[in-house]
Amino acid sequence: MTNELVPTGEATAILPTPGSATKPITVIGTETIRSTFDDLCLQQAVNSRLAPGVTDLVLNPDAHCGYGAPVGCVMTSPTHIYPGPVGVDIKCSMSLLQLDLPADQITDRPTRRSLIDAVCERTPTGAGRGQRHVNKSRYVGEGLGRQLLIEGASKDVCQQLGIPFDWTRHCEDSFHVGHDETAVALALRLDKHLHEENFSKRFSDKMQQLGSYGGGNHFGECEVVDVCDNDRARRVANRFGLKNGRVAFLSHCGSRGIGHDLASGQFRTLQRHFEKWNIPLPGNDRQLVYAPLGTAEADAYIDDMALGANFATVNHLLINALVLEAFQEVIPGVQGKLVYFISHNIARKEIVGDCVAKNDARDPSGRSKKRSTMEWVHRKGATRAFPAGHHALNGTMYETTGHPILLPGNPQAGSSVMVADEGAAATCYSVNHGAGRALGRKRAFRELDQSTVDRSFDDADIMTNCRTYPRDEAPAAYKNFDEVLRSVKSAGLATEVARLKARFVIKDGDKADD
């Protein structure tokens, strides 16, 4: 049966689930954006919505097919945990470092080339690369590696790595705990892994990837901040610590090899259980395995996810510390502060109170009710978006504004810093994590011309560390970013605070991690 979108507004629609009385899938996107959702993406969304225990599913403007669940979706459940709607790059995230450096200080190309070299001497790129491939990184041995997996960005971990501990105040989560909400559960789970020969043998190499970007769609990008010209944007930008006309640095990466190993191990283990017990797979898709909460299988997944997430957190913070150090080497006296660190591949336990369950919860009169329950919110290629006044921000510096949302577009169109509006309640307080792919990697390699891609960067005066820019990561491989942002704004989910304009890019051409 064909999956047909039913428009409900300029940038909203629903996707009914055929033959089911469940609440339809919420879809965010203008007509132009909705046309980018292919049949496989929509079928994955339906499969995920109809999976056991799922109470809500949202498709964001950047949605495209992924592993089991689409990349660019939000899925909630009070009863089950799903590895697919988190993915193999646990806690892939964005972070933004604001420098006090005026934009005109990096106008000339020799300065930018020196900065590129200084960053690359500290933060390696490439799927298999780590500290041993650069000469100015931080060494991470097995002892510190074990500590940071268990504690996340604790004060002691930050001190050992030269990370300003104050930066942890600007993190969506600076640490994660285990299934019983303790770090002890993580220590026990990690010890179990370290008694496994294959895991133990690779552990040291995986820890030495701390402070590295990896490959594919991961990047570091030097930006110039352009705060939007209105009172609200200026007020919010001031709260976020954004400085108009100054240099900033945007980073995209995740949990590297350790996260991939933990996630892949979970997929294999759960798939074996499904085969052994002959459990039906949602949509007959092996990537949509799951575990009921409270079971040993669910506990193991939550613990492994937390271990990977703690690595990703410290990885980002260390990269930002190394980037600041690189700028200070080239331009002495530069100072910088973390604006925010926010994830887009994670499952978090949240109170879901404003997602209307029209067909799941009705009073005797037939009117729909609003849920107010604790659920696991799976965000796969989706970003948390809590607006001003959200209960989770009480007591934080963001309670009167909402927290920063970091949305990468592409180097030539720019990236965006946004802040959530009240309308984000309709999407379980989530927005897209970027532009989203328009061309698959193989198709991009077939259809895009290398010389045209490279010339477009020269024409825009955007420098890179790449001999040739990877075609599968070219701007043309992604959706129109302005149309994606228009979808978010028109749907009432978030408002733009600043646009980030790229001056150089740190990138690698290896296969993507997430």
Higher pLDDT: 77 or 18? It is 77
SS (H, E, C) 362-420: ECCCCCEEECCEEEEEEEECEEECCECCCHHHCCCCCCCCECEEEEEEECCCEEEEEEE
The per-residue pLDDT for 288 is: 97
Q: Strand pairing partners for 222?
A: 249, 504
Kindly indicate the confidence band of residue 174, based on its pLDDT and cuts at 50, 70 and 90: very high
Structural element, H or E, at residue 361: strand 356-362
Q: pLDDT at residue 357 above 60?
A: no
User: With bands split at pLDDT 50, 70 and 90, how would you rate the model's confidence at 49?
Assistant: very high
Distant-in-sequence, close-in-space partners of 324: CB < 8 Å, separation ≥ 6:
97, 99, 334, 336
Band the pLDDT of 85: cuts 50, 70, 90: very high
pLDDT at 353: 65
Q: Within a 10 A sphere around the Cβ of 382, how many other Cβ atoms? A: 30
Question: Does the pLDDT at position 358 exceed 50?
Answer: no
Q: What are phi and psi of 454, to 5 degrees?
A: -65, -40
Task: Please give the share of the chain, as a percent, with pLDDT higher than 90.
Answer: 89
Q: Which of 70-74, 128-132, 326-330 has the least mean pLDDT?
A: 128-132
For 230, 324, 330, 430, the CA distances from 399, given in Å and listed in that order, are 21, 28, 37, 17
Residue 76, pLDDT score: 97
Confidence of residue 2 (pLDDT cuts 50, 70, 90): low
d(CA 255, CA 246): 29
User: Exposed, middle or buried, 510 (CB in 10 Å: 0-12/13-18/19+)?
Assistant: middle
| Confidence category of residue 392, pLDDT binned at 50, 70, 90 | very high
How far apart are the two ends of the chain, measured CA to CA in Å?
30
pLDDT at position 19, please? 81
Q: Which of 486, 158, 126 is nearest to 341 (CA)?
A: 158
Per-residue pLDDT at 152 exceeds 70: yes
> Of how many residues is the chain composed?
514
The per-residue pLDDT for 450 is: 95
In contact, 81 and 104? CB cutoff 8 Å: no
| 134 confidence band (pLDDT: 50, 70, 90) | confident
- Give the pLDDT mean for 271-282: 96
Predicted confidence (pLDDT) at residue 514 exceeds the cutoff of 60: no
What is the model's pLDDT at position 166? 98
How does strand 463-464 pair with strand 494-506? parallel
Q: What is the pLDDT of residues 188-233, one digit of tens each?
A: 999 999 999 999 999 999 999 999 998 889 999 999 999 999 999 9
The pLDDT tens digits of the residues spanning 413-442 come to 999 999 999 999 999 999 999 999 999 999
Does residue 512 have a pLDDT over 50?
A: no
Query: Is the dihedral angle over the CA atoms 443, 444, 445, 449 positive or is it negative?
Result: positive
Q: Which two tokens stand for residue 343?
A: 């994830």
pLDDT at 368 over 80: no
The yes-or-no verdict on residue 1 having pLDDT over 60 is no
Measure the CA–CA gap between 381 and 436, rounded to whole angstroms. Answer: 9
**pLDDT value, residue 477:** 96
Confidence of residue 372 (pLDDT cuts 50, 70, 90): low
Quick one: pLDDT band at residue 133, thresholds 50, 70, 90? confident
Q: Which of 121-130, 388-397, 482-491 has the lowest mean pLDDT?
A: 121-130
Q: What pLDDT, on the 0 to 100 scale, is given for residue 21?
A: 82
Averaged pLDDT, 311-336:
98
Enumerate domains of the chain plus CATH numbers.
6-438+478-506 (3.90.1860.10)
Asked if pLDDT for residue 347 goes beyond 90, the answer is yes
0.85 exceeded by pTM? yes
Q: Is the pLDDT of residue 285 over 60?
A: yes
